[in-house]
Amino acid sequence: MRILALLLALLMAAPLGAARTGLRSFSLGSKDGKLLVEFYLRNAFPEGLEESLKAGVPLICDFSLRLYRRRAWWPDKRILKCSFRHRLFYDNLKGVYSLVLEEEGRTLSFKSLEEAKAQMARVCSLPLTRIEDLKSGHYRLKLKAKIGLKRPHLWPFFFLKSLFGLGKRTISYLCEFTIKGKRLLLGLQGPSFAEVR
């Protein structure tokens, strides 16, 4: 009976943490003929982060971007899939936070956890593809981000975490835009952008 009560408490608590997570800013643009995306996660970090990092548990953020070309009478055609990871850990010997940005292929060091968190939650000017490679038409860009502490997988808790989606906060967003004549058209309001549940 106690196990059932514990499971119900975990299930009720998980959506509350995920609801606070989202995007603070998002921009889609072009430069030098490339389609670029930028975004910033807000309220993405779990509680007790500093203690966990100092205990040797890294923080992982997995990003996935998928670009689809919309088609009228057929399922949307996937044009590209881009996945990368940000990994934050604390170096006890140096007393610094190290952040690995996989998409840029570099590691940054910070004395302050706040500075490290701000950089970890940000993706700047990420090139997705060349605009000239995209046909004229309507497109959808799906963004998914999962963030959480990397903890050891212990059976049966690993099964329960995967079954109920516990352990990592996940956000998913969908952006729609148009390519016409090798140009990116965003309209007056910018791209149509919405959270996906």
Residue 76 pLDDT > 70: yes
Give the mean pLDDT of 65-75.
Answer: 92
Higher-pLDDT residue of 181 and 104 is 104
pLDDT(167) > 80: no
Instruction: Report the DSSP beta bridge partners of residue 35.
Output: 30, 129
Of 100, 86, 88, the residue nearest 54 (C-alpha): 88
The Cα 44–Cα 58 span in angstroms is 15
Query: Contact at 8 Å (CB) between 140 and 174?
Result: yes
What pLDDT does 1 receive? 46
Q: Helix count (H) and strand count (E) of the chain? A: 4, 11
Which pLDDT belongs to residue 77?
94
If one compares 30 and 13, the residue with the highest pLDDT of the two is 30
pLDDT at 118: 92
Looking at per-residue confidence, does 156 or 77 come out higher? 77
Amino acid symbol at 89? F
Q: Which two tokens stand for residue 184?
A: 């990116």
pLDDT of residue 84: 96
Inform me whether the pLDDT recorded for 18 exceeds 70.
Answer: no
Q: Can you state the angle between helices 157-164 and 2-19, rounded to 10 degrees? A: 50
Closest CA to 171 of 26, 52, 7, 58: 26
Q: How confident is the model at residue 157, as a pLDDT? A: 52
33, pLDDT greater than 50 = yes
Split at pLDDT 50, 70, 90, the class of 27 is: confident
Q: What is the mean pLDDT of residues 118-145?
A: 92
Q: Which whole number is the average pLDDT over 160-186?
A: 72
DSSP bridge pairs for 39:
26, 123
E strands in the chain: 22-31, 34-42, 59-69, 77-91, 96-101, 106-110, 122-130, 137-149, 169-180, 183-185, 192-195
Instruction: Order across the sheet with 34-42: list the strands.
Output: 22-31, 34-42, 122-130
pLDDT recorded at residue 151: 60
From the CB of residue 90, how many other CB atoms can be counted at a distance below 10 Å? 20
